Amino acid sequence: MVLRFDNRVVVVTGAGAGLGREYALLFGKRGAKVVVNDLGGNFHGEGNSSRAADLVVEEIRKLGGTAVADYNSVVEGHKIIETAISNYGRIDVLVNNAGILRDKSIANISDNDWNLIHDVHLKGSFMTTRAAWPYFKKQKFGRIIMTTSNSGIYGNFGQANYSAAKLGLIGLANTVAIEGAKYNVHCNTICPTAASRMTKGILPDDLFDEMKPELIAPVVVYLCHEDTMDNGQVIESAVGFATKVHFVRGKGSLIRDSIKDVPTPETVKAKWGKITDMKNAKHFNSNMEVSSSFVSVMDRLKNPLPKDTFEDTYTYTFRDTILYALGIGVGTEDESNLKFIYENHPNFAAFPTYAVIPSIIMLMTSSITPSALENFDLSQVLHGEQFIEIVNPMRTEGTLTTRGNVIDVQQKKSGVVVTTECLSYDEGGQLMTRSQSSTFIVRGKSNGKYGGNPEKVINIIPNPSRQPDHTSIVKTNVDQAALYRLSGDLNPLHIDPNFALLGGFNRPIIHGLCTFGVSVRAVLKQYADNDPSLFKAVKVRFTKPVFPGDTLKVEMWQEGNRIHFRTLLAESNTEVISGAYVDLLNVIKSTSTSESIPQSSSNMALQSDAVFAAIKERVNADKAKAKSVNGVFLYKITKDGKVAKEWTLDLKNAVISEGAPSGKADTTITIADEDFIDIALGKLNPQQAFMKGKLKIQGNIMLAQKLSPLLKTDAKL
């Protein structure tokens, strides 16, 4: 829809040239009756003439518009508004654009230079606004534009007078916006950078040429339309670009511990890092909002945190919950995962173990764990155990306040275990999550500050002795830790090979909490149909490190609503999570009989397991084809060339079995995971694979060719 200004009366100050002229022309073209104000002086504010305004009026009229000239100074703003009223009987839009420069460095600015600049920019805008105000208020409509400058926002050498006045205009606009809001009188501020007689010589020539004022006019005209409801905005525009500008305020810091204390320069110095930290800076919409933030400051001063309690706030959005889900391997291959990674899904939810993130960030960024220890460094720190209980489900965005204490310190032979308990509350003070984290500091020593309270620590529970009721196989991605760390645990142990060496690992290891999330995924899928609302609590112990790319085997036992589990490295059967359990509110058994749950992207091993199973079936079904051959080894190899698994294809008996055969095989075929899958899917012909050197055959090539049809399978992967 074309934005029109028919029957609207628009006053533009300083409209004889530059930006003002472009505004006036565009308003004129859009049907407005325009008062073209210009004193006709030079850009230092000297002299006057009616010529500049008259020329623009003429231009508007030539274009078929309606306009009248006004030659008054903005300092006598009432006279300009009077021109609108006497000619057209009303005023709807006021664009305060007039301005001059008196650039000098501070020592050289005379009183007159200072006053004149303030009179034209700041006082002039006030005078016109005050004069138009009764008309706006009466008709319950008005649109006002103030003009600021980046020189005001950021400062500029030689423009102290101008910068002060220009930033003053933002203050003026903010209050005008508040006072006018209930009468539909809106005031916004434009921050233009345009080529004009004022900016010639200040901007580089090539930039100056592209800074056409007509590129800014549409922004101002849009802001003044009756349908535009924005009020109190600062909009910057230049070279065909526009953006909103606003102030932000840091999270800040208390500089005294209680209402009885008095801050000192030393306490300010001690807190300076936090005072100036803008990481979680926020925009406030009103003075009132800022004042109410002091209520919680007062509350904290009157009720200081109990001794040795640490506190942190954590703000997150849907992007953070999705990033976390991706970090623990939630992927699109399983449609029931979409609710964790697609914000428009009707059941969009945070994966339940996301609840651990606020407390882990608190542990990583505060001195809670160090407060229990003698000197140590991060390379000694391993995650030992983790418990979380969902008291109220995490939302997909919000701010949580987490309070934590050290509850137990146990000196062991090989190190010290510090257990902390954290409670996370939402904005309304409602308890959302309870968590306990045990940190194992290898070779660490307690400083004796806290005692041992093992009874406060929620224990792991040995797994039932029977065979697991269900096993899921999940392959982690080689980049799993690199992705997971973006959820907040930036410990270099998980990304920096040199740092990992310091910790005694030959390459970076996966975060304990990532393995934890991957394992809980398997449990939630198998016993809760991937429904996050059924998740109540989880406890794990990390017993061995996991490396990115490892395949995990999650063994599970159901005992009522408690699912005991342990996680092993699939290749070596080494236990990496032990004595673990998930408490569910209700169990919904998965109907899947598969041994595995799909894993996003790097799921080659998993897929090829399924392919082998399909081949096995095929061999069994096609004994006739198989009977002439003695035996074949199939080696499945990983990308780096290591043999991951060996299979024996005993064609005489039509059996495929895991592991190398005892006797000598006729032929050995070595093939990489991804090529094997491509062949099995029919995307790659075995002969072609052989020619390209992807499929290595030792022994009887004829035999291998006989095998080709067997490698083709229509298994659903």
Ligand X SMILES: CCCCCCC[C@@H](O)CC(=O)SCCNC(=O)CCNC(=O)[C@H](O)C(C)(C)COP(=O)(O)OP(=O)(O)OC[C@H]1O[C@@H](n2cnc3c(N)ncnc32)[C@H](O)[C@@H]1OP(=O)(O)O
- Tell me: does residue 364 bind ligand X (CB under 6 A): yes
Residues 501-540 that bind ligand X (CB under 6 A): 509, 511-512
- Pick from 33, 383, 470, 694 the residue near ligand X by CB under 6 A: 383
Cβ of residue 555: shortest distance to ligand X, in angstroms? 18
Question: Given the complex with ligand X, which of 148 and 437 has the nearer CB atom?
Answer: 437
Structural contact between residues 614 and 625, judged by C-beta atoms closer than 8 angstroms: no
**Exposed (0-12), middle (13-18) or buried (19+): which is 284, by Cβ within 10 Å?**
middle
Cβ of residue 385: shortest distance to ligand X, in angstroms? 5
Cβ of residue 470: shortest distance to ligand X, in angstroms? 24
Tokens of 313: 């706030």
Question: Given the complex with ligand X, which of 362 and 707 has the nearer CB atom?
Answer: 362
- Pick from 60, 122, 381, 604 the residue near ligand X by CB under 6 A: 381
| Strand 93-95 to 142-147 pairing | parallel
Helix (H, G, I), strand (E, B) or coil at 600: coil
What DSSP string describes 210-230?
Answer: H--GGGTHHHHHHHTSTT---
Q: Of 293-301, 375-383, 389-397, 451-459, which segment contacts ligand X by CB under 6 A?
A: 375-383
Tokens of 698: 């030792």
What is the spatial order of strands in the sheet that 695-698 belongs to?
A: 655-658, 643-650, 632-637, 667-672, 695-698
Beta bridge partner(s), residue 235: 190, 244
Q: 385-404 mask for ligand X (x: CB under 6 A)?
A: x-------------------
C-alpha R_g of the chain = 36
Q: Of 112-120, 306-314, 337-345, 486-494, which segment contacts ligand X by CB under 6 A?
A: 486-494
C-alpha distances in Å from residue 48, one per residue of 54, 70, 77, 96, 428: 13, 12, 16, 19, 62
Tokens of 618: 């095929």
Phi-psi bin for 64: left (phi > 0), alpha (psi -120 to 50), beta? Answer: left
Residues 428-467 that bind ligand X (CB under 6 A): 438-440, 442
Cβ of residue 373: shortest distance to ligand X, in angstroms? 9
Quote the crossing angle between the two packed helices 673-680 and 604-621, to the nearest 10°.
50
Question: Given the complex with ligand X, which of 457 and 626 has the nearer CB atom?
Answer: 457
Structural contact between residues 521 and 328, judged by C-beta atoms closer than 8 angstroms: yes
Cβ of residue 421: shortest distance to ligand X, in angstroms? 14
Residues 585-644 that bind ligand X (CB under 6 A): none
**The amino acid at 206:** D
Cβ of residue 523: shortest distance to ligand X, in angstroms? 19
Cβ of residue 513: shortest distance to ligand X, in angstroms? 6
Cβ-Cβ contacts under 8 Å for 333 (sequence gap 6 or more): 598, 599, 600, 603
Nearest to 358 by CA among 408, 424, 292, 305: 424
Question: Given the complex with ligand X, which of 150 and 366 has the nearer CB atom?
Answer: 366
Question: Given the complex with ligand X, which of 460 and 637 has the nearer CB atom?
Answer: 460
Beta-carbon count within 10 A of 89 CB: 10
Cβ of residue 454: shortest distance to ligand X, in angstroms? 9
Cα separation, 332 vs 366, in Å, equals: 36
Question: Given the complex with ligand X, which of 152 and 384 has the nearer CB atom?
Answer: 384
Question: Given the complex with ligand X, which of 233 and 543 has the nearer CB atom?
Answer: 543
Residues 408-427 that bind ligand X (CB under 6 A): 412, 414, 417
Structural contact between residues 249 and 257, judged by C-beta atoms closer than 8 angstroms: no
Cβ of residue 101: shortest distance to ligand X, in angstroms? 56
Q: What is the phi/psi pair of residue 499, to 5°?
A: -70, -40
**Exposed (0-12), middle (13-18) or buried (19+): which is 443, by Cβ within 10 Å?**
exposed
Question: Given the complex with ligand X, which of 348 and 376 has the nearer CB atom?
Answer: 376
What DSSP string describes 4-64?
Answer: --TT-EEEETTTTSHHHHHHHHHHHHTT-EEEEE-----TTS----SHHHHHHHHHHHHTT
Cα separation, 19 vs 521, in Å, equals: 60
- Tell me: does residue 542 bind ligand X (CB under 6 A): yes
Q: Of 69-77, 189-197, 383-391, 651-659, which segment contacts ligand X by CB under 6 A?
A: 383-391
C-alpha distances in Å from residue 85, one per residue of 34, 154, 327, 524: 12, 38, 65, 72
- Tell me: does residue 549 bind ligand X (CB under 6 A): no
Is 162 tagged catalytic? Answer: yes
Question: Given the complex with ligand X, which of 364 and 483 has the nearer CB atom?
Answer: 364
Question: Given the complex with ligand X, which of 568 and 695 has the nearer CB atom?
Answer: 568
Q: Which residues of 595-620 are buried (b: 16+ CB within 10 A; e: fewer)?
A: ebbbbbebbbbbbbbbbbebbbebbe
- Pick from 228, 543, 600, 638 the residue near ligand X by CB under 6 A: 543
Tokens of 389: 């209980």
- Pick from 28, 45, 532, 545 the residue near ligand X by CB under 6 A: 545
Tokens of 617: 């079936």
Q: Of 47-55, 155-163, 168-176, 361-369, which segment contacts ligand X by CB under 6 A?
A: 361-369
Question: Given the complex with ligand X, which of 489 and 531 has the nearer CB atom?
Answer: 489
Q: Of 8-16, 213-221, 376-384, 613-621, which segment contacts ligand X by CB under 6 A?
A: 376-384
C-alpha distances in Å from residue 205, one per residue of 202, 209, 410, 474: 9, 6, 70, 61
Number of residues that bind ligand X (CB under 6 A): 26
Cα separation, 635 vs 672, in Å, equals: 8
Out of 71, 88, 135, 162, the active site residue is 162
Cβ of residue 364: shortest distance to ligand X, in angstroms? 5
Question: Given the complex with ligand X, which of 410 and 590 has the nearer CB atom?
Answer: 410
- Pick from 489, 609, 650, 675 the residue near ligand X by CB under 6 A: 489
Cβ of residue 441: shortest distance to ligand X, in angstroms? 8
| Strand 695-698 to 667-672 pairing | antiparallel
Cβ of residue 422: shortest distance to ligand X, in angstroms? 12
- Pick from 19, 382, 540, 677 the residue near ligand X by CB under 6 A: 382
Catalytic positions, written as ranges: 162
Which residues form the interface with ligand X (CB under 6 A)? 363-364, 369, 381-385, 412, 414, 417, 438-440, 442, 489, 491, 493, 509, 511-512, 541-545
